Amino acid sequence: MPTRTAVRPPPTTAPSSRAALDRVRRYLSEELGPQRGPAGAGLARAQALVGELGHPQDRFRAVHVAGTAGKGSVSTVVASLLRAHGFRVGVHLSPHVYSLLERFQVDGGPAPAELVDAALVRIRPAVEAVERAGHGRPSFFEVTNAIAFSLFADRVDYGVVETGVGGLLDSTNTISRADKLAVITPIGLDHQDLLGTSLREIAAQKSGILPPGGRAVAARQPSADVEEVLSAEATRRGCALRWVDQGPPVVGARVGPWGTELRLRGRPPLTLGLTGRHQAGNAHLALRAVGSMAARDGWALDADAVRLGLRSATLPGRFERRVIGGRPAVLDGAHNPLKLAALVATLQEVHPGARFPWVLAFKQDKDLRAAVRVIAPTASVVVATQFATEDGDHPAGTSVPAEQIAEAAGECGVEAVVAEDPACAVTRAADRADPRLPVVVSGSFHLLAAVGPRTTAR
């Protein structure tokens, strides 16, 4: 059983130095430069990087989370439950929404910038060594992995690590401890350019995190093909795989303007810090994952700690209620049809029968028309916008031109207007809104990063 470290409450204000954060951002966005090196190298470069650092990824008990929808939420709830039971916990999330430091959570809040900066000072020579050895220059994501692993090593009781894309070849999959617990959330179509065009191909990539001879918990999947792939790979690796239901009759939920309750048979309702029926399913998956660790590591779930952990778990950009120009708003980073469907379902339960002004922007790799079809029944108008991410916290990316989003909305019978500047788009949407209903801002975390500073707390 791991020793429980005294838990400190999350800071109310980030105890970080602007100069330290600026140094980290400057290195990652400017000095590191684009990823370079041999194509098709798999995990070789990432393994070389952590090898140069003394394999920090294997110096904490790891929970490794993959899937298409719910990875960030499940990771956050797992961490919150562990903290409520008295453990010191690190969480590595991606992408971030408003600040780079969101990727490196320790003790329930972003790690201080000075700590991240100090870790990067140790990592920079390793980056150069990896490139000199012929592996190419590590990527932004590989270096942020190395930062998180270095922060967690020998410092936390448990580290919760969210994959970036896929699993098998994701650079977080350098974690090789036999006692790693793998957690797999619902799998759908996304990142087909990298993971494959079919659900079976994508599931094969996600299953790559299953630990040989270890344990895993996985959400029941909407596709029998996905379950077949996961089961077969678990058998091949000798991994004990436990399936977890996320919906009726095992899991119930009550959702309304006041929030969300998880309802399990024979138990009193449990209040969640995250909003939505899908979050009840995510919370149940997280609870079963933590229960598996408790049974393995010789400690027991405590009912009061479970209530506290579920109630305390929050995450930026997931049905985040804010105020824009005096009007209510919901900011949500849903960016594929599976995630947008969950957002739409939550809006319909919180505001039955309502139609909302949507502000939408997407990255180039998304199925634009499928995404717009999902939100169309709840849209009174779509304000199409776009973003630029050449600098700042987020690595560079390109958005779909706003005109293409407006065209897709028109094809779905939804009124659409174009406002290329995100701030202007939000203002135009707010002007079109019923003051009792929120403006919905969605489609990309990059969009939320652009809009967030112009919002205030609800």
Statement: the pTM of the whole predicted model exceeds 0.85: yes
Residues in contact with 337: Cβ distance below 8 Å, sequence separation at least 6, in sequence order:
188, 189, 367, 370, 371, 373, 374
Picking from 269, 291, 312, the residue at the C-terminal end of a domain is: 312
pLDDT at 381: 96
Domain ranges, residue 362: 320-457
Percent of the chain with pLDDT over 70: 93
Does 105 share its domain with 169?
Answer: yes
Q: Is the pLDDT of residue 390 over 70?
A: no
> Running DSSP on this structure, what letter comes out for residue 196?
-
Give the residue from 180, 182, 183, 202 showing the smallest Cα distance to 191: 202
For the chain, the average pLDDT equals: 91
> In the structure, what pLDDT confidence band is assigned to residue 4 with cuts at 50, 70 and 90?
low
Residue 100: inside a domain: yes
111 plus 248 within the same structural domain: yes
Same domain, 297 and 350: no
Distance CA(28)–CA(393), nearest Å, equals: 9
- The owner of tokens 């190419």 is 136
- Which single residue is written with the structure tokens 């980056």? 127
| pLDDT of amino acid 1 | 57
Same-domain pairing of 58 and 26: yes
- Beta-ladder partners of 93: none
pLDDT (0 to 100) of residue 363: 87
Do the domain assignments include residue 12?
A: no
Number of domains in the chain: 2
Q: Which two tokens stand for residue 177?
A: 């401890």
Residue length, the chain? 458
The rounded distance, in Å, linking the Cα atoms of 138 and 142 is 6
Residues 23 and 75 in one domain: yes
Integer Cα distance of 107 and 269 in angstroms? 27
Q: How many CA atoms lie within 13 A of 176 on its CB side?
A: 8
Residue 6 resides in a domain: no
Both 232 and 267 in one domain: the answer is: yes
What is the C-alpha radius of gyration for the chain, rounded to an integer number of angstroms?
21
* Tally of CB atoms within 10 A around 144: 27
Same domain, 394 and 410: yes
Asked if pLDDT for residue 397 goes beyond 70, the answer is: no
Task: Please report whether residue 8 resides in a domain.
Answer: no
Q: Is the pLDDT of residue 196 over 90?
A: no
Task: Please write the tens of the pLDDT for every residue from 153-190.
Answer: 999 999 999 999 889 999 999 999 999 999 999 998 87
- Residue 271, both tokens: 């209040």
More confident residue, 282 or 11: 282
Say if residue 213 is in the same domain as residue 258: yes
Instruction: Give all strands (DSSP E) within 38-164, no chain letters.
Output: 61-66, 89-92, 104-106, 109-110, 158-162
Task: Annotate 390-440 with DSSP letters as a single string.
Answer: SSSSSPP-BBPPHHHHHHHHHHTT--EEE-SSHHHHHHHHHHTS-TTS-EE
Give the closest residue to 123 by CA, choosing from 41, 178, 57.
57
Helix pair angle (277-297, 71-84), 10° resolution? 50
Residue 302 belongs to some domain of the structure:
yes
pLDDT of residue 234: 98
Q: Confirm whether 2 is domain-assigned.
A: no
Q: Are both 293 and 372 inside the same structural domain?
A: no
pLDDT band at residue 392, thresholds of 50, 70 and 90? very low
Compute the CA torsion angle 119, 121, 125, 127 (nearest 10 deg): 60
As a whole number, mean pLDDT of residues 141-148 equals 96
- What mean pLDDT do residues 14-24 have? 80
Question: Which three-class secondary structure state does DSSP give residue 329?
Answer: strand
pLDDT of the residue at 189: 80
Distance CA 326, CA 431 (A): 11
| Mean pLDDT of all residues in 71-100 | 96
CATH code assigned at 351: 3.90.190.20
Residue 454's pLDDT is what? Answer: 87
**332 versus 432: which is more confidently predicted?**
332
pLDDT band at 35 (very low <50, low <70, confident <90, very high): low
Helix (H) or strand (E) run with residue 382 in it: strand 379-384
Q: For residue 433, what pLDDT is reported?
A: 79
Please say if the pLDDT value at position 11 is more than 60.
Answer: no
194: CATH: 3.40.1190.10
Q: What is the mean pLDDT of residues 112-120?
A: 96
Cβ-count burial 372-404 (b if 16+ within 10 Å, e if not): bbbbbebbbbbbbbbbebeeebbbebebbebeb
Domain boundary, last residue among 285, 312, 339: 312
Identify the H or E element spanning 219: strand 215-219
Give the largest Cα separation in the chain, rounded. Answer: 60
CA quadruple 236, 239, 244, 246: dihedral sign? negative
Nearest to 440 by CA among 315, 327, 277: 327
Residues 291 and 358 in one domain: no
In the prediction, which pLDDT does 104 show? 97
**Do residues 23 and 104 share a domain?**
yes
Residues 237 and 291 reside in one and the same domain: yes
Please say if the pLDDT value at position 349 is more than 80.
yes
User: Is residue 7 in a domain?
Assistant: no
Q: Which of 262, 279, 312 is the endpoint of a domain?
A: 312
Residue 12 predicted with pLDDT over 70 = no
Helix (H, G, I), strand (E, B) or coil at 221: coil
pLDDT in tens, 241-286: 999 999 898 999 999 888 999 999 889 999 999 999 999 999 999 9
Q: Does residue 199 sit within a domain?
A: yes
Terminal C-alpha separation, the chain: 41
Percentage of residues in the chain having pLDDT higher than 90: 79
